[in-house]
Amino acid sequence: MYRFSNTVIGFLNLFTLLASIPIIGAGLWMARSSTTCEKFLQTPLLFIGFIILIVSLAGFIGACFHVAWALWLYLFVMLFLIGALMGLTVFGFVVTSQGGGVDVPGKVYKEYHLQNYSPWLRKRIKDPQYWVTIRACILGSKTCATVITWTPYDYLTKDLTPIQSGCCKPPTTCNYGLTIMGQDEDCYHWNNDPNLLCYECDSCKAGVLEDVRRDWQKISVLNIVMLVLLIGIYSIGCCAFQNTKRAVSDYPHGENRMYKVRPRWDFYWWRWWHDRRHQLY
């Protein structure tokens, strides 16, 4: 039974080793695509896939072939991953604690305002380099293709996703029939051109952040489950590491206290000198 932990670690790492292959394959397949959104995910997928591959290989070799240094490397990386995942989870809950939609009187959908989100998210979404990539993704997904054909009755009865609410229409408070000063700045950014619409509006950026916030909250819950699983695997890995050290010393039920298996190079010389001295005296 003392080798049970080695068997469990071996099977778990064999499973994750095989699972890393399609992840790496997906990242390489995305490299061939010309779609901006897919290229945006390519680097994280490749990084995660190779990390899982290396860690799983070290854990599998260490547990199944009793290689202590491989298991030590495996446990070190696992401890780093647990710490990083814990920090990421806490950071995710802090960053996504702000935000949410505002009800529009007489409408089913909600509208979103950029100032309601955390400063860290606002700073990232306002970066022109990030926004060009995200804007290209929204255009490529044709999110607004159906919304721009809606009638006024549709706007009263149908719901909108956060991105559709912020990017595909001007804010509800805008009034284009009369010249009214002091309107929302987004009212002046709106354009009927399907390639422009409200893609440069703060409401569009807020809609993207709302989607990010919802997805991040779901991922944070999943991260908690993964943390519990990783801590359990790490505990089993520690037992497997101890078993591997015992197997290497050929002393399975305890630590081998013999640390000199062969005599030192001068043992026989000193033994001869000791015997000769006793013969003389």
In sign, the C-alpha dihedral spanning 269, 270, 271, 275 is positive
Which residues lie below 8 Å from residue 163, measured CB to CB, with a gap of 6+? 138, 143, 204, 207, 208, 211
The two three-digit tokens of residue 38, written as one number: 């897919």
Confidence of residue 116 (pLDDT cuts 50, 70, 90): very high
Q: For 236-274, what is each residue's pLDDT tens digit?
A: 888 888 877 766 554 444 444 444 555 555 566 667 666
Confidence of residue 204 (pLDDT cuts 50, 70, 90): very high
pLDDT at 91 over 60: yes
Which residues lie below 8 Å from residue 60, measured CB to CB, with a gap of 6+? 9, 10, 13, 14, 17
Predicted TM-score of the model (pTM): 0.74
By the 8 A CB rule, do 75 and 32 touch?
Answer: no
